[in-house]
Structure 1
Amino acid sequence: MILFLDEVQWIAVRRSKLISTIKYFWDNYWKKMNVMLILCGSIASFMVKRIIHSKALYGRITLEILLKGLLPHEAAKFFRNQRSKEEILKYLLVFGGVPRYLEEINLNRSFNQNINVLCFSKNSLMLSEMDKIFYSQFKEVEAYRKIVSVLKGTLLTFKEISEKTGKPSGGTLKNALELLINAELVDFYISMDKGWNSKFKKYRLGDEFLVFYFKYIEPNIRLIKAGGQTRLFEKVSLESLEVWLGFAFERFCLKHSGYLAEIMGFKDEMLLASPYFKRGEPGFQVDLVYKRTDKVIAACEIKYSNERISKKIIPEMEKKCTSLEIPRGYTLERALISLYGPDEALKNSGYFNHYVTVEDIIGE
């Protein structure tokens, strides 16, 4: 027998003894009846604190499954080959691989038209999504929003988050970050020359829509709610959208580092993937670096450009590569991740070992 309880966090509302009751029935009845009990919930903070870390259920959980967003080639199926790969990528940079968001996209509208309808009209669906995310996930909403707000830009260390939020760098802040990570709202990275237990981690907002929200929706929220304007998205993003898409593409590549490694043919050898940064050199960063089990370091340059990439990129990339601290005995490979790949001159130079384009990312 399979007993499936969906959205268990709502079943638990005003039922403080629900988990202990489940424990009682499991120990005294269901276990003996060979019942398979599946508890499913959409609020990560509840599932982690009340289920996974529950003392009542300690030693009784046999499998945890975290449902992540769709991979790019999976998300592309929502578009049924009716939109270009470039346009599909833009949607993924804004909404990520969340099916609930993707199913709202009207395939008879362009990217700008859909964004105006979904995000920049008076009663648009996504206008209140920020509040829905936080009020459903967390009790101390403003505290979590403050942490997320400071992470909307650059990568920050734990100490820097503490300083910018004014919160002591103790267990409370650490637990809050862990909950945000479990909810897949925040990502963290460790440079390749540091171990997994290193304190030199850097954190950044990982939810694609929230990054877009903080950049374009929140600063214009009053204007949007006032209504009466057409094509508002174009008006507020005209001078900055291409630059923002470039940064969003970098985040996208970091989030899907495993998927990109598979495209480049070394997913099974992937040990670590992160930006490369140095303590004391805040301006230096390599977009994405892979450390592999076969003693190869793969340094990636990420370019969101509407043109093929020329040989002009070589000095820029070489400067970054010479600053990398390559472990003894490791080979350095170079990869270029861009929309349209290299021009003929760059390709013939043999400088890069791997190329990934929008065709590879979105698939057929």
Structure 2
Amino acid sequence: SRFNKVKVPDDWFKAFELLEDYLNGLRNPKKKVVFIDEFPWLATARSKFLTAFEHFWNTYCTRRSDLVVVICGSAASFMVNQIIRNKGGLHNRISQKIPLEPFNLNETEQFLKSKNIRLTHYDIVQLYMVIGGVPFYLNKVRKGESVVQNIDRLCFEVDGDLVAEFYEVFTSLFSNSKAHERMIRVLAKTRKGITRNDLLEQCNFGSGGVYSNTLEELIESGFVHQYTTFGKKSRQSLYRLSDEYSLFFLKFIEPNKGQGSGTWSRLSQKQSYVSWAGFTFESLCLKHVQQIKKELGIDKIFSIYSSWFNEKAQIDLVIDRDDRIINLCEIKFYNVPFTITQKVYNNIRSKLIQFKESTRTRKNVFIVMISTFGIVKNAYSTELVTSSITIDCLFEPM
């Protein structure tokens, strides 16, 4: 290496000068990529790394047409506040943001197959509802263990890898992690989501600035999703906790710490599991709306998806299409094909009537059933349901 005879630089300014010398010595006309990983951990308070990097970019990189500089980091607070919202030397310098999203269901299945772990779609959905599509978590899944065994080992055994992950994640990602944790706990208590004003009131931060920064950082880093409410303005949007592991931790892991192996096989038989699974499956479907549209054959039709609710009813997924049709999606998580009984029929009919009366829409309104294994065909389903789709469609590549 040409750096072998070079003295170790005293500071980051000199280090970047060495990098400039190295780049100047490259005669290949092709693009060169400077890749800096874990950027926040280099930019400690006294290091002056950020100032040196700003100088490197503004005085050297901007004069080169053959350079691509990629920076990345897992500390969300730093990347959002110091880079994306930078008001100094890096202001408005970003040409492309690359948010590193968790795997979707298709990618999760492919990842597990690469480890020779082959699970049914139903089992992958159950696993995803607990740990999401985070590769670091999925890499801990063991071949030969059932989903229940994997969850039990990771989340409930005394030394399980994910028993305390909740606290470690927020500490590593956010500089003011207590505020983020508090907001996550508030969001975890509400099923349908919460408005911005109600969230502010319940968090009780005392500072609007802290509240806004915390919410924006949680949205930027994928913990919280903002959902439009049908027919309402953006200020009436709902905010929902969308991180599967955080929700599972607060619902099951934290209240059952220290109970050891076998805990999940016991908890998964209780009514609280049924309630959690229903809500979490709804959130999972909201993350796979494009796959749902494709299965319905409407992916080429412009549409907007949202949620809708009033004092008496709620519909988690409304697809408002440009071809004068609105799809109201009922989402059900069951371990067998779902049967629409008279009670279920009356409930869905009531939602349909209330939606039409409340919105005064002139469009056709069709009911879509999204369920794990489809629906049992009977008189109620024949009359009520326009389309029925299963979890298999959620695994389609996009």
Using the size of structure 1 for normalisation, the TM-score is 0.90
Q: CA deviation at 1:9?
A: 1.2
Q: Which amino acid letter does the alignment assign opposite residue 159 of structure 1?
A: N
The equivalent residue for 2:176 is 140
The equivalent residue for 1:122 is 158
Rounded to whole Å, the distance in 1 between the matches of 2:293 and 2:189 is 25
Which ranges of structure 2 fall in alignment gaps of 5 or more residues? 1-31
1:1-364 to 2 correspondences below 5 Å: 1-15=32-46, 17-34=48-65, 35-55=67-87, 56-80=89-113, 82-154=118-190, 155-168=193-206, 170-195=208-233, 198-221=234-257, 223-224=258-259, 229-239=260-270, 240-278=272-310, 281=311, 283-312=312-341, 313-324=344-355, 325-326=358-359, 328-345=361-378, 349=382, 351-363=384-396
Deviations along 1:176-204, one digit per CA (max 9) or x if unpaired, are 11111111111222211013xx3212212
SS of the residue 1:269 aligns to: coil
Q: CA deviation at 1:37?
A: 0.7
Do the aligned partners of 2:77 and 2:175 also contact (CA within 8 Å) in 1? no
SS of the residue 1:332 aligns to: strand
Rounded to whole Å, the distance in 2 between the matches of 1:28 and 1:164 is 47
Calculate percent identity across the aligned residue pairs. Answer: 31
Rounded to whole Å, the distance in 1 between the matches of 2:302 and 2:331 is 18
Q: CA deviation at 1:329?
A: 4.1
Q: CA deviation at 1:119?
A: 0.9
Q: CA deviation at 1:270?
A: 4.9
Q: Which amino acid letter does the alignment assign opposite residue 3 of structure 1?
A: V
Q: CA deviation at 1:348?
A: 7.4
Q: Which amino acid letter does the alignment assign opposite residue 305 of structure 1?
A: Y
Q: CA deviation at 1:300?
A: 0.2
Deviations along 1:79-124, one digit per CA (max 9) or x if unpaired, are 3262222111100111111111111111210011111111111111
Q: CA deviation at 1:258?
A: 2.8
Do the aligned partners of 2:285 and 2:394 also contact (CA within 8 Å) in 1? no
Question: Which stretch of the first structure deviates more once superposed, 112-121 or 338-347?
Answer: 338-347
Rounded to whole Å, the distance in 1 between the matches of 2:62 and 2:195 is 45
CA RMSD of aligned residues (A): 2.2
Question: Which stretch of the first structure deviates more once superposed, 232-241 or 35-44?
Answer: 232-241
Q: CA deviation at 1:352?
A: 2.4
SS of the residue 1:31 aligns to: helix
Q: Which amino acid letter does the alignment assign opposite residue 49 of structure 2?
A: L
Question: Which stretch of the first structure deviates more once superposed, 203-212 or 265-274?
Answer: 265-274
Q: CA deviation at 1:43?
A: 2.5
Q: Which amino acid letter does the alignment assign opposite residue 136 of structure 1?
A: S
* Change in CA separation of 1:206 and 1:270 when aligned onto 2, cut-off 3 Å: farther
Q: CA deviation at 1:217?
A: 0.7
Do the aligned partners of 1:158 and 1:169 also contact (CA within 8 Å) in 2? no
Q: Which amino acid letter does the alignment assign opposite residue 146 of structure 1?
A: R
Deviations along 1:259-318, one digit per CA (max 9) or x if unpaired, are 32233222343543232123xx1x421121112233322110001122323342433222
Greater RCO structure (CA 8 Å; 6+ sep)? 1
Rounded to whole Å, the distance in 2 between the matches of 1:16 and 1:331 is 62
Using the size of structure 2 for normalisation, the TM-score is 0.83
Do the aligned partners of 1:291 and 1:297 also contact (CA within 8 Å) in 2? yes
Deviations along 1:230-270, one digit per CA (max 9) or x if unpaired, are 31222344313233211211111123223322332223435
Rounded to whole Å, the distance in 2 between the matches of 1:16 and 1:299 is 55
SS of the residue 1:199 aligns to: helix
Deviations along 1:310-332, one digit per CA (max 9) or x if unpaired, are 34243322211111144644222
Pairs aligned (count):
354
Rounded to whole Å, the distance in 2 between the matches of 1:124 and 1:311 is 40
Rg larger for? 2
Do the aligned partners of 2:291 and 2:396 also contact (CA within 8 Å) in 1? no
Rounded to whole Å, the distance in 1 between the matches of 2:81 and 2:379 is 52
Question: Which stretch of the first structure deviates more once superposed, 50-59 or 304-313?
Answer: 304-313
Rounded to whole Å, the distance in 2 between the matches of 1:15 and 1:39 is 20
